[in-house]
Structure 1
Amino acid sequence: MPNARDTRMNRLFHVPLSPFCRKVRLVLAEKKIEVELVEERYWERDADFLRRNPAGKVPVLRMDGRTFAESQAICEYLEETCPEPPLMPSDPRDRAEARRLVFWFDDKFHAEVTSKLLYERVNKKITGEGYPDSRNVKAGAQAIKFHLDYLGWLLDQRRWLAGDRMTLADFAAAAHLSALDYISDVDWNRNANVKDWYAKIKSRPAFRGILADQVPGFPPPAHYADLDF
């Protein structure tokens, strides 16, 4: 059942291929919180947007009469105020592991992979910053192999990334990987465990909005929205 709250004024200022925005969108959808999606050209540093978040970054969530910025702060707010279904484990040790993996993707994976592939190939063109740096693209293509192997190792031992239940760690990982999959930068045949995990998570109703994204000038590959690859 939808959460008992007035959702008419909820707005998420976002960019479709931003993994940080996608993470928040997945949490909102999983918790059945309706929001109006507003695409924000954050690189233009519009005065109204900077009033919402002086850092000039997305996502920004307008909800409950307040404005929230930074994806992890938003996700924690949603988890605390809309606890069903839970996306963080009840055990403190398991929570620590889930948080570790969220930061793994939003920090290490982002720096080594997402920023080297997605930002070079897509963001630079959209924001008018020039052409991709081939050295960065090469480095990102090499680094993603290590990360996929690490995910495969985790999934050898666990049903989901942080344990036996799906958590925010899975959404953080899926947010980055789905954005990269949109531009065909994930070798799903590298590890069967990772491919099975992603097929399972992208089959969830919460993923429908992500799979419907269309970015002008960048059509997704045929397998992107295929639940069976």
Structure 2
Amino acid sequence: MELFGALFSPFVRKVAVVAAEKGLALDMPPFSFADPCDDFLAASPFRKIPAIKDGDYRLCDSTAICAYFDALAPDAPIYPAEARARGRAVWFEELADTIMVPALGPAIFNRFVLPRLRGVAGDEEAALAAIAKFNEVLTYLEGVTPAEGWLAGEFSLGDVAVASLLRTAEYIDAGLDPARFPAIAAWYDRVTARPAWQSVAAMEIGQAKAAGLA
């Protein structure tokens, strides 16, 4: 199975970690938005990452891909079976994808995309404003993060989605302040200590070095 995208993206990283949790093997061919391959374009008609090719099956969008993986390898579920826990798992993924990413997005664009990928200066004022909004969301998250275990009670896609964005925030000097967000920091350490996360992190380091970002 092939995964198209770069692991700097929280959405691509989310898919890669879920695959690793489930023991699904992924290949990541070299990827470029400037020169996308035909398989990527067939999988993602609007050129959004991530996308996958699994034999003659192609799919894009991280949530859709993770749902596909969950059905493909059901023995390692990423959605809890219990109704309330499942609802919370979906909520935390939604929090990451539709609230946290838009809040931090201008900072990612101005501190990472523009200066590091396009070689032009970003708008630092816009970046700082975005980080302030992001920290407001983290204040909410701090209040609902358990002292032990996982966001939905058992490990789920919600944990992967939120942690993946926090990892991307580290690229733009917007990583967690453990003194301000101790519960999130302790939970994040638990997520990133998992073998699946560690295996993807090693791949990400390789990609960063190849791209001159590490």
TM value normalised by structure 2: 0.88
Identity %: 26
Within 2, Cα distance between the matches of 1:110 and 1:102?
Answer: 11
Within 1, Cα distance between the matches of 2:66 and 2:185?
Answer: 25
SS of 1:41 mapped into structure 2: coil
Which one of 181, 186, 196 corresponds to residue 191 of structure 1?
Answer: 181
RMSD over aligned Cα atoms: 2.0
SS of 1:121 mapped into structure 2: helix
Residue 162 of structure 2 aligns with which residue? Answer: 173
2:94 maps to 1:94: no
State whether residues 45 and 56 of structure 1, in contact with CA within 8 Å, keep that contact through their aligned partners in structure 2. no
State whether residues 14 and 160 of structure 2, in contact with CA within 8 Å, keep that contact through their aligned partners in structure 1. yes
> Post-superposition, which runs of at least 4 consecutive aligned residues in structure 1 deviate over 6 A?
none
State whether residues 51 and 60 of structure 2, in contact with CA within 8 Å, keep that contact through their aligned partners in structure 1. yes
Residue 2 of structure 2 aligns with which residue? Answer: 11
SS of 1:33 mapped into structure 2: coil
Q: How many residues matched? A: 207
Which sections of structure 2, spanning at least 5 residues, go unmatched? none
Change in Cα spacing, 1:35 to 1:179, as seen in structure 2 (3 Å) is same
TM value normalised by structure 1: 0.82
More helix by share: 2
Which sections of structure 1, spanning at least 5 residues, go unmatched? 1-9, 220-229
Within 1, Cα distance between the matches of 2:54 and 2:29?
Answer: 13
State whether residues 20 and 175 of structure 1, in contact with CA within 8 Å, keep that contact through their aligned partners in structure 2. yes
Residue 224 of structure 1 aligns with which residue? Answer: none
2:205 maps to 1:205: no
Deviations 1:53-73 (CA, angstroms, capped at 9, x unpaired): 111111111114311111100
More displaced stretch, 24-33 vs 60-69: 60-69
Which one of 43, 50, 75 corresponds to residue 84 of structure 1?
Answer: 75
Deviations 1:169-228 (CA, angstroms, capped at 9, x unpaired): 000001101111234311332221111101111011111233222323432xxxxxxxxx
Residue 23 of structure 1 aligns with which residue? Answer: 14
